[in-house]
Amino acid sequence: MQAAAWQQLASTYLVCAEDRGTPVDLQREFAGRAGSVVELDAGHHPFLSQPAAVRDLVLSL
């Protein structure tokens, strides 16, 4: 890592609370570095399982 864009740019972290691959505690730790945090009851791929929620989030940014 040479640069960390999330330190310079507006950022939102989407925590996937039902993710069984990436532990939710680890996600929440990373999320603390982002500008804002949204949590969704979804697995690792919310853009496939809950696309309307992800669309709404993208459009709200």
Partner 1 sequence: MRVVFVHGACVRDGSWWWHRTAELLAERDVASEAPALPSCGETGKTPDAQGPGLVEDVAAVREVLTAGEELTVVVAHSYGGIVTAEAAAGIGAVRHLLLVSSYLPEVGQSLSSFGGEEPAPFLDIDPEGGTFTVRPDALIEPFLQDCDPGIQRQASNKTVRQSLAILE
Give me the residues that bind partner 1 (CB under 8 A), please: 1-6, 8-16, 18-22, 26-27, 30-31, 33-34, 42-49, 51-52, 54-55, 57-59, 61
Yes or no: say if 18 and 44 are a contact pair by the CB < 8 Å rule. Answer: no
Yes or no: say if 27 and 16 are a contact pair by the CB < 8 Å rule. Answer: yes
Least Å distance between CB 19 and partner 1? 5
Least Å distance between CB 5 and partner 1? 4
Q: What number of CA atoms fall less than 13 Å from residue 29's CA on the CB side?
A: 5
